[in-house]
């Protein structure tokens, strides 16, 4: 059975404060790289999915909405590897 | 009356909560996360700690444990549920309470006594407090920065769902007295019906003067009073 890889990116929504990103941006600036004006942090996940399972796109979306991302503060994006 | 204290892998305030209930002389039992049996509890305590290692997001994994299926059903049927610290995080992740608890604005774990102002004394969790009473209770968290959409924050205010706000020792709500960056200095909220409360501060750690404060007892005594009155009403 061939597995397919789904890559999930989770990001904070626009307007949600990201103190971690702000702190990383300051560190970059302290390193001397003044051209970096802002940093937003996030997470990504790789899921190995059985490719012949019907409706995997919908199921992976469900997993993202219920578990991998918190829809109150985060957006997610799913990419399936060809 | 019986209190049930849920133990997740990584809970570390379950024994404190257990001891606080013993102190007020009521029955209490631990509820294991892999079980779905609430053992006839009248009130459920989701204690502080680091359930499932705080993996993914604080409270995110605990939400899907077998015991939480029963707790969610119990809460939706009007049962009393109090989530403290990590328990609050579990309640927002479960959707039982609105909003989200994000990383503290200063990014540090913060463990200290703070002051809270009681904003609503009508419900089951604060009926032993005076309106505007100031409680001295400790916090101990890294993810306690309460966030909600502006519109939903207005709904919380209108519905009198904001139970506790961080304040200074005189009860003034100031930016300096906000330990984590929470919106509107929010330290604890209820659902619309008022039977579910989440709070970041630890009332179970402030139940005897020798601990530095006994103000946390009022939360436990309020719950007891509420249940006793309810039982009184239900009995013929």
What values do phi and psi take at B84, rounded to 5? -110, 125
Q: Which residues of B touch A19 (CB under 8 A)?
A: 103-107, 181
Give the active site residue among B13, B85, B129, B167.
B85
pLDDT band at A1 (very low <50, low <70, confident <90, very high): low
- Residues A41 and A10: their CA atoms lie apart, in Å, by 9
Averaged in consecutive runs of 10 residues, what is the pLDDT profile of chain B (236 residues)? 97 97 97 97 97 93 95 97 98 96 93 97 96 98 94 95 98 97 97 97 97 97 94 59
What are the chain A neighbours of B57 within 8 Å (beta carbons)? 70
Quick check: A6 contacting B, CB < 8 Å?
Answer: no
- Contact yes or no for B113/B137 (Cβ under 8 A): yes
Q: Is A72 in contact with B100 (Cβ distance < 8 A)?
A: yes
CB B203 within 8 A of CB B217: yes
R_g over Cα of chain B: 16
Identify the pLDDT of residue B236: 47
Which residues on B lie below 8 Å from A23 (Cβ)? 107
pLDDT of residue B47: 98
Residues contacting B55, CB < 8 A, separation 6+: B61
Confidence at residue B227, expressed as pLDDT on a 0 to 100 scale: 94
What's the pLDDT score for residue A52? 75
B27's tokens: 């029955």
**pLDDT tens per residue, range A42-76:** 999 999 998 876 889 999 999 999 999 999 999 99
With CA atoms as reference, the chain A residue closest to B105 would be A19
State residue B230's pLDDT score: 84
| Residue B85 is among the residues annotated as catalytic for this protein | yes
Shortest alpha-carbon distance between residue B100 and chain A (Å): 7
Give the burial string for B103-118 (b: 16+ CB within 10 Å, else e). bbbeeeebeebbbbbb
Axis crossing angle, helix B217-234 with helix B14-23, rounded to the nearest 10:
60
CB contact under 8 A, B181 and A67: no
Q: What residues of A are in contact with residue B106 (Cβ under 8 Å)?
A: 19
Chain A residues with beta carbon closer than 8 angstroms to that of B107: 19-20, 23
B157 closest CA partner among B179, B184, B187 = B184
ipTM: 0.79
B129 classed as catalytic: no
Which of B52, B68, B56, B65 is closest to B10 using CA atoms? Answer: B52
pLDDT of residue A82: 73
Q: Cβ of A72 and B148 within 8 Å?
A: yes
**B154 a catalytic residue:** no
- What is the reported pLDDT for A2? 80
Q: Within an 8 Å CB–CB cutoff, is residue A22 touching chain B?
A: no
Dump pLDDT digits (tens) for A6-37.
999 999 999 888 988 999 999 999 999 999 99
Does B181 touch chain A if contact means CB atoms closer than 8 Å? Answer: yes
B112 CA to chain A: closest CA distance, Å? 21
């Amino acid at each position: 059975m061939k597995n397919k890889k789904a890559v999930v990116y989770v990001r904070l929504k626009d307007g949600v404060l990201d103190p971690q990103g702000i702190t990383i941006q300051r560190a970059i600036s302290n390193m001397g790289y003044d051209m970096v004006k802002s940093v937003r942090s996030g997470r990504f996940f790789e899921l190995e999915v059985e490719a012949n399972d019907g409706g995997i796109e919908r199921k992976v979306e469900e997993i993202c909405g219920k578990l991998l991302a918190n829809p109150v503060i985060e957006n997610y994006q799913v990419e399936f590897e060809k | 009356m019986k209190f049930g204290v849920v133990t997740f892998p990584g809970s570390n305030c379950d024994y404190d909560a257990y001891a606080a209930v013993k102190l007020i002389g009521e029955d209490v039992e631990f509820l294991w996360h892999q079980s779905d049996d609430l053992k006839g509890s009248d009130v459920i305590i989701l204690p502080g700690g680091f359930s499932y290692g705080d993996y993914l997001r604080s409270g995110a994994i605990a939400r899907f444990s077998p015991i939480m299926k029963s707790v969610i059903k119990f809460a939706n049927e009007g049962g009393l549920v109090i989530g403290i610290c990590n328990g609050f995080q579990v309640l927002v992740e479960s959707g039982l309470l609105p909003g989200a608890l994000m990383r503290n604005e200063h990014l540090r774990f913060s463990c200290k006594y703070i002051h809270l102002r009681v904003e609503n004394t009508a419900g089951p969790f604060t009926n032993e407090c005076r309106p505007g009473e100031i409680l001295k209770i400790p916090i101990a968290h890294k993810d306690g920065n309460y966030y909600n959409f502006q519109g939903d924050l207005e709904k919380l205010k209108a519905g009198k769902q904001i139970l506790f706000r961080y304040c200074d020792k005189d009860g003034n709500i100031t930016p300096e007295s906000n330990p984590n960056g929470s919106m509107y200095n929010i330290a604890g909220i209820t659902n619309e019906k008022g039977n579910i409360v989440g709070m970041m501060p630890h009332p179970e750690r402030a139940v005897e003067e020798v601990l530095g404060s006994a103000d946390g007892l009022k939360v436990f005594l309020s719950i007891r009073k509420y249940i006793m009155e309810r039982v009184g009403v239900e009995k013929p």
